Homo-oligomer: A and B are copies of this chain.
């Protein structure tokens, strides 16, 4: 059912230069959603939406996703209180990626580790890649205690 919420993609030109939203879900039924913080512009999450999650995000103006680990529809913030209000949504050229700009309730954290965003480690560039690559923490500290919110699971 959920795959028929949106019309099927048309021609190459229609997909790229048209005004119909015809998202191109992958073989797994999912589309990538880049989530940035409306106020800072930082990328805070890379998440996934199925057709139902995308439709609910559009309708409600809040972030809904498909949890690939839990294999279930996921209303962001339902457990943690960190609901995301979508201030702007965009789709890319070939309509296989979504970009949303959000403002997040509660502590403002978007990452399950308790941090503002998921990208809290830098990868050094300009050196040979491989096992010697050492990540550097950006200093973003958790805004809440994940164990207190989610338990020890």
Residue among A45, A121, A124 with max Cβ neighbours from chain B (10 Å): A121
Let me know if A11 is at the binding interface, CB within 8 A: no
Q: Is the CB of A93 within 8 A of B122?
A: no
Chain A interface (Cβ < 8 Å from any Cβ of B): 5-7, 16-21, 32, 34, 36, 41-43, 45-46, 54-61, 86, 88-94, 96-99, 111-113, 115, 118-131, 133-138
Q: Report 23 cross-chain contacts, Cβ distance below 8 Å, ordered by A residue.
A: A7-B130, A7-B131, A16-B113, A20-B131, A20-B134, A21-B133, A34-B34, A36-B43, A46-B99, A55-B130, A56-B129, A58-B123, A58-B124, A59-B127, A86-B125, A88-B122, A89-B122, A89-B124, A90-B119, A91-B121, A91-B123, A92-B118, A97-B119
Partner of A130, one of B6, B45, B91: B6
Please judge, given known A-B contacts A55-B129, A119-B92, whether A99 and B43 are in contact too, CB under 8 Å. Answer: yes
In the complex, the count of this chain's copies comes to 2
